[in-house]
Structure 1
């Protein structure tokens, strides 16, 4: 056991050195990350709920002290909300899309945290802030509190009164998707820059996935890293067992996941969809660049997250401000921003 720890410790030292070789670029000032989009604005709640961001950040900070996995849970929750029909908190509705196969494994703790924060925000400001806005803010804060980049996001989203359709939910790319499939899926959501795909895939620097998502190791595990990393999934019947995505710093938002990808380990060590990114010329240069320069990764991740947080379906920003994130309002009154 001590030999295995020594091997991983040595590998960690080598990878940290590789990740720090490039210089830091000039960062975009916080308040000018991206202009407001349409009816969304970074100042949307400035008058109606000036304490909003303080409430959200303090709540996320306290929750992370109890469960560091919430960063990954919130990231996945936001992506699975935004991708099907836009960021409208439809993923939070009970008896809806959370029960469909692409959403299996969403963290219930992350779902509950959004509702808990909504209760605090509405108690302080009244029902002026949507569950969709709270989901975006909570995810943003979880990333920065875990070591990732801070950024501002435009606000003013409304909550959907109904779940996304199963057809829309099944547009979520699976962990086995090829680079062609990933680029097509992201392009259909106005995330057509390959840098968006690669940067958002970098969210896998935190969290876990089921062993079945990684696939079988190709051939014998011939190196110590592969043997150590895949040991969790080697037992029969371990398909539902959770394994760290980033095998070096699984609770820290950094660029080491890209460094690990550049090692090009055996099939089964990393997610198949991510392994494809390092071998396809359309994306491999980005993987290598983000591995070499974590400031570049942080800057692109910030840009891509802001873009994703503004996704909306053909219905536009139409809906309501839910009084409970898990169910639509009973009065059935919709609004448009």
Structure 2
């Protein structure tokens, strides 16, 4: 009897592992770039993940709209110059920071504040050993996990960049909501992300909101033929004119739950943005959308793997970059003495 109970319990536990979105990932098999590691902070900051997760659990409970904003920071950072934390930097005498570029003006101040707060808490416990860039990558993963998505592993060891991109660079490197598949593909391929990765990462729109300016051209002066009529009527109620400034959820079914319903919306012609709906309209990406709409756990697994891949774009490691003491500012340069031989005599010079 005891043996029968034990076997049945084992089968029950196995079934949980088979269906739980928290366990359907294969990140260990994912290749990572030199300088990153799955256990980078195991000794220098073993409390890193609990600090971030516990604090974000509190923050997200107080503001359920913030996970999408934090996740978006990771995307906007990695697509411009690579995952180097440059989006976090304030402007300087050399020019305005990436935050001031038009595509980044809708990045929420609360998301930047959350990252800096996490940096402060982590450095308070572990010292200045964890980069802001790694904190952003982990916070993005927690945004997915705490919203109901999968728990994928994050390779760590990124260093923070010391330069931010120009506004023109940001404009060139970030796709616009009005982009179609043909214009989106080069953005992703140039970053070693496949068409499948592109569709998968678009699933980040499972959570979050968008304002009227990002989709009103689908309503005025003429309705986009690919949009469901009932959905269009609803959107006109939110954005009654082509100058309206309101907004709505990117996923109309489960706006605060990270799941595959975003793809179900696309199949039902209820994608909010052109860059969303065209994934189902275009024959190159439509089969992937259909697969994710039908297989929710498969999407969650693939999303985690695609995030691991995206999070390694042009990372700085080793002695490159720095570990910022403030995520919004480069570290102050300090003078050090170096002995050099000049005309046969050793002279001490200051280097910075």
TM exceeding 0.5: yes
Task: Please say if residues 26 and 301 of structure 2, whose CA atoms lie closer than 8 Å, have aligned partners that are also in contact.
Answer: no
Relative to structure 1, the CA distance from residue 29 to residue 75 in structure 2 (aligned partners, 3 Å threshold; closer, same or farther) is closer
Indicate the SS of the match to 2:79: helix
Q: Where does residue 234 of structure 1 map in the other structure?
A: 240
Unaligned runs of 5+ in 2: 1-17, 92-96, 336-352
Relative to structure 1, the CA distance from residue 317 to residue 297 in structure 2 (aligned partners, 3 Å threshold; closer, same or farther) is farther
Unaligned runs of 5+ in 1: 1-22
In the alignment, the residues of structure 1 paired with residue 151 and residue 20 of structure 2 have an alpha-carbon distance, to the nearest angstrom, of 16
In the alignment, the residues of structure 2 paired with residue 219 and residue 67 of structure 1 have an alpha-carbon distance, to the nearest angstrom, of 34
Indicate the SS of the match to 1:281: coil
RMSD: 2.4
Task: Please say if residues 179 and 274 of structure 2, whose CA atoms lie closer than 8 Å, have aligned partners that are also in contact.
Answer: yes
How far apart are 1:57 and its partner, in Å?
0.5
In the alignment, the residues of structure 1 paired with residue 34 and residue 143 of structure 2 have an alpha-carbon distance, to the nearest angstrom, of 26
Task: Please say if residues 176 and 213 of structure 1, whose CA atoms lie closer than 8 Å, have aligned partners that are also in contact.
Answer: yes
Relative to structure 1, the CA distance from residue 311 to residue 332 in structure 2 (aligned partners, 3 Å threshold; closer, same or farther) is farther
1:60-209 superposed matches below 5 A: 60-95=56-91, 96-170=97-171, 171-191=173-193, 193-209=194-210
1:47-58 superposed matches below 5 A: 47-58=43-54
Q: Deviations over 1:126-185 (max 9, x none)?
A: 000000000000110110110111110110111111212334312111011121111111
Relative to structure 1, the CA distance from residue 330 to residue 125 in structure 2 (aligned partners, 3 Å threshold; closer, same or farther) is same
Structure 1 stretch displaced more, 37-46 or 223-232: 223-232
Q: Where does residue 12 of structure 1 map in the other structure?
A: none
1:216-295 superposed matches below 5 A: 216-217=218-219, 218-219=222-223, 223-235=229-241, 237-238=243-244, 240-265=245-270, 270-295=272-297
Relative to structure 1, the CA distance from residue 282 to residue 229 in structure 2 (aligned partners, 3 Å threshold; closer, same or farther) is same
How far apart are 1:66 and its partner, in Å?
0.8
Task: Please say if residues 45 and 126 of structure 2, whose CA atoms lie closer than 8 Å, have aligned partners that are also in contact.
Answer: yes
Deviation >6 Å, runs of 4+: 313-317
Q: Deviations over 1:71-125 (max 9, x none)?
A: 1101111100001111111000112111011212001111110000000000000
In the alignment, the residues of structure 2 paired with residue 275 and residue 317 of structure 1 have an alpha-carbon distance, to the nearest angstrom, of 43
In the alignment, the residues of structure 1 paired with residue 223 and residue 126 of structure 2 have an alpha-carbon distance, to the nearest angstrom, of 58
Task: Please say if residues 102 and 169 of structure 1, whose CA atoms lie closer than 8 Å, have aligned partners that are also in contact.
Answer: yes
Task: Please say if residues 233 and 243 of structure 1, whose CA atoms lie closer than 8 Å, have aligned partners that are also in contact.
Answer: no
Relative to structure 1, the CA distance from residue 292 to residue 322 in structure 2 (aligned partners, 3 Å threshold; closer, same or farther) is same
Structure 1 stretch displaced more, 217-226 or 31-40: 217-226
Relative to structure 1, the CA distance from residue 35 to residue 57 in structure 2 (aligned partners, 3 Å threshold; closer, same or farther) is same
In the alignment, the residues of structure 2 paired with residue 249 and residue 29 of structure 1 have an alpha-carbon distance, to the nearest angstrom, of 22
How far apart are 1:31 and its partner, in Å?
6.2
Indicate the SS of the match to 1:84: coil
Q: Where does residue 3 of structure 1 map in the other structure?
A: none
1:300-315 superposed matches below 5 A: 300-312=302-314
